[in-house]
Amino acid sequence: MRIAVTGGAGFIGSHTAAALAEAGHYPIVIDDFRNSKPFIIDRLKTLCKGKLSFHEADCNDRDKMAGIFEKEQPEGIIHFAAYKAVGESVRHPLMYYRNNVGSLLTLLELQKHYGIEHFVFSSSCTVYGVPDELPVTESSPVKKAQSPYGFTKQVGEQILFDLQSASTPMRSVILRYFNPIGAHSSALIGELPLGEPENLVPYITQTAAGIRKELTIFGQDYETPDGTAIRDYIHVMDLAEAHVRAIAWLAESEEKASAEVFNLGAGRGSSVKEVVATFEEVSGVKLNYRYGPRRPGDVPAIYANADKARKVLGWAVQRTLSDALRDAWHWQQQIHGLPV
């Protein structure tokens, strides 16, 4: 199938484009490089053996997006194009609402106009807020959002549920990610934060590479075994392959309309201290780190029950935390010309 991948030069989007091509699909990558760089497209073309097209566009630009859809005639959309940092969203809420909600509305209006039936939405475990029980399942309550970023994901999900209730002839999958990390095994693509990283693993790798002076671990007084926050870390290629399965499932499904939710996680929680120790083990690099106060918007602990994705989509993680950290480090070494 011809699949539009918005935000396809970004971290998860680029890896999903590569996975789509590997599975025999044709990715139509759309990005405006606000969170990536143009050289990623050249590397994607290498990974995809040239079997992709690229358009530089802001997904809020309805006219430009309409022109792309008119030309490319996609059969499905995987929507990644959104801001994604909890802390940044607390500082700049309007920016998050305008981009994350506005781009989704534009795409859904165009999807209806062009009769595109299959839609995969990039959501997040942040919709669960501070969970009552762990691990969280798809039926766990959606709690009051802890950040504007989390709320934009809740709003996006509700829009898709409302479209289902309105009997819109569209089938959608909502994928609630936990914490994607790692990089492609080729080290050609990986996480590329512009400016200071907001996420743990790129900060770890940049500290190990000497780009950052030290890593700050935010909070050491959480009610967790070692006092640091616990997250469910999933290799980005496992996550990418789940999107390929989701598109295939939508195409195969006989339901006329749906808005099906799936958790995507490794199914176990790892503390920040555990991630640091595992990185030091796989890289052989001793990290310089200190403890700082908790960050606004962070929850103490969350990890997934991903049984539904396994049973319905036929998907499960294949890679370990060590694999992901090793791949992330190889990417960091490659991107900054360090010896591997």
Backbone angles phi, psi at 137, to 5 degrees: -110, 175
Dihedral sign computed on CA atoms, order 137, 140, 146, 147: positive
Q: Which two tokens stand for residue 81?
A: 């194009």
Q: Which two tokens stand for residue 214?
A: 């030290």
Continuous segment of H or E residues that includes residue 125: none
Residue 256 sits at the vertex; the CA angle it makes with 250 and 261, to the nearest 5 degrees, is 50
What letter does residue 136 receive in the DSSP assignment? B
What letter does residue 197 receive in the DSSP assignment? -
19 and 186 Cβ atoms separated by less than 8 Å: no
Kind of pairing, strands 118-124 and 76-79?
A: parallel
Burial 299-314 (b: 16+ CB within 10 A, else e): bbbbbbbbebbeeebe
193 and 40 Cβ atoms separated by less than 8 Å: no
Choice among 149, 177, 203, 222 that is catalytic: 149
Q: Which two tokens stand for residue 62?
A: 């309805």
The Cα 204–Cα 211 span in angstroms is 10
Catalytic (active site) residue 26: no
Q: Which two tokens stand for residue 95?
A: 């920016």
Name the residues annotated as catalytic: 149
